[in-house]
Amino acid sequence: MMVLVYAVVGVVAALLGVLPWSSFALPTAEERRAATAIVLLAAWPLLWTFLLGPLLIGNPPSPLFPLLWFAPALCWSVTMLAHNVNTRGFVVDPPVVLIASQSLLTLLFVIWEPKNSSEILRWLFGAILLLMVVIKERRVTAHAVAVGCRASLALVACVVLATVLVNPAAVAACRMDKCDAAGRVLTSPFAGNGNILGLSVAMLLPFALLGRSAGRSFALVSSVLAVGELAGSRSAFIGVGVVVVLHAALRFARGRARSTVLAAGLLGSLALSLAPALLSYDDQAFSFRGELWNDAKALIHDRPILGGGPTTWEKFGETSIIDANYSPHNAWLDMTVSVGLLGVAIIVCAMALKVYLLSGPEREAVVVYLCGLLGASTLESLFVPYFLGIAPFVAIIPLLIGPGSRVIGGSSAPVESPAASAESSGQKGRS
């Protein structure tokens, strides 16, 4: 009964948070394509992971199965690229070019040290998804991304409720480290548990909150908490907590105080996420994540500069006596194991450049998103912009925005759509 209550609260709160429907209106076709891309990347895979896949297919039959998850987004990415390159005056987004360069370096590892043909396929999927963000017709605003995130959040909440109603077998007794007040959580044969569900809604929240009133923001946070609790995803709540605190602080901050809030949030979340990589922990720490962290550090010691390739951790898991799971459960360790310190430096420079080239409310929105990502990345690994990770939308969302106004016209003044300007003005008025 409590599981159904969580699911209903998730849907009702999400719908209250995204209303009115007029807020989904976008002024340009490019922004509508960007919002659609987020839905296809974030909501569609979860629909198949928790609802349609278990009902229609059962266990994954082959390594080609992720194609079903991401085929719509892959086709949409190619469509976006084809449209943009045939538009007069299209713009190349420099931060994405940096990310793409790292993707090409990753391909060398995939070719030189193949595990099987699925490695090349997964690299190709990740590379195709980058096509939707590397060239832009002119500009995608943060408002368009916010619309896509709100639509995805509402759809995911509906998927959760439908799963609870039509597939009771998806609700199982929870593990000790992934248990909610109901004592039961959502599971999936494709995900093993509901962790990816909780992490996904947590990473949709930062932009979903953009420009929302206090009441609607409270509803959206409540929806994410209800779905995250049903998923049994404790690590997702770290990112949610960071985002909620920052949004609350920004509502009261004015002028330079806003920059101070963002800087404090960025430094704090960065320090938190780096702790597993820089500090020493016993193997039993944080539900035995300490053992994964220590093993990752040993792998990094062997190949510190270039890393061992995107599937290094998977190969380690196949020969290890421990349950290595999908990653070392820390983004910094996961990236360094895969692409080395050089790759991490490229990725950090790309995201720093993205923030620098943006300005005004859009820069703030991306910084808040990165703070939430860093918080969640302390105990998980979601940001994989060079390969097909468990949640590729996490890397794509911030790269969709832009290019920055400094690229377009050499001015630091942001170029916003009317809807984005109105939403930003409304947010300032409520601060």
Task: Tell me the percentage of the chain whose pLDDT exceeds 90.
Answer: 68
Return the pLDDT at 208: 97
Tokens standing for residue 280: 């020493």
Return the pLDDT at 64: 64
Return the pLDDT at 41: 97
What is the average pLDDT across 172-189?
A: 72
pLDDT of 260 higher than 80: yes
pLDDT of 382 higher than 70: yes
Tokens standing for residue 89: 């005056």
Return the pLDDT at 396: 97
Answer yes or no: are the C-beta atoms of 362 and 142 closer than 8 Å: yes
pLDDT, one tens digit per residue, over 321-336 is 777 788 999 999 999 9
177 pLDDT band (50/70/90 cuts)? low
Per mean pLDDT, which range of 134-148, 168-182, 205-219 is the poorest? Answer: 168-182
Return the pLDDT at 36: 97
pLDDT of 423 higher than 70: no
61 pLDDT band (50/70/90 cuts)? low
Cα–Cα distance for residue pair 155/397, rounded to 1 Å: 17
- Which residue matches tokens 């987020």? 38
363 pLDDT band (50/70/90 cuts)? very high
Cα–Cα distance for residue pair 182/184, rounded to 1 Å: 5
Among the listed residues 123, 252, 148, 265, the one whose alpha carbon sits nearest the alpha carbon of residue 203: 148
Return the pLDDT at 288: 87
Return the pLDDT at 293: 96
Return the pLDDT at 138: 79
Cα–Cα distance for residue pair 21/18, rounded to 1 Å: 7
Q: Supply the mean pLDDT for the chain.
A: 88
Return the pLDDT at 405: 56
Per mean pLDDT, which range of 39-53, 72-86, 211-225, 320-334 is the poorest? Answer: 320-334
Angle between helices 236-252 and 195-208 (to 10 degrees): 10
pLDDT of 224 higher than 80: yes
From first CA to last CA, the distance across the chain in angstroms is: 39
Per mean pLDDT, which range of 104-108, 146-150, 159-163 is the poorest? Answer: 104-108
Cα–Cα distance for residue pair 428/431, rounded to 1 Å: 5
What is the average pLDDT across 380-401?
A: 94
Q: ω into residue 403 within 30 of 0, thus cis?
A: yes
Per mean pLDDT, which range of 59-68, 140-149, 299-308 is the poorest? Answer: 59-68
Burial track 157-192 (b if 16+ CB lie within 10 A, e otherwise): bbbbbbbbeebeebbeebeeebebebebbbbbebbe
Cα–Cα distance for residue pair 406/180, rounded to 1 Å: 47
184-186 and 91-92: which strand pairing?
unpaired
pLDDT of 13 higher than 90: yes
pLDDT, one tens digit per residue, over 79-105 is 999 999 998 888 899 999 999 999 999
Return the pLDDT at 392: 95
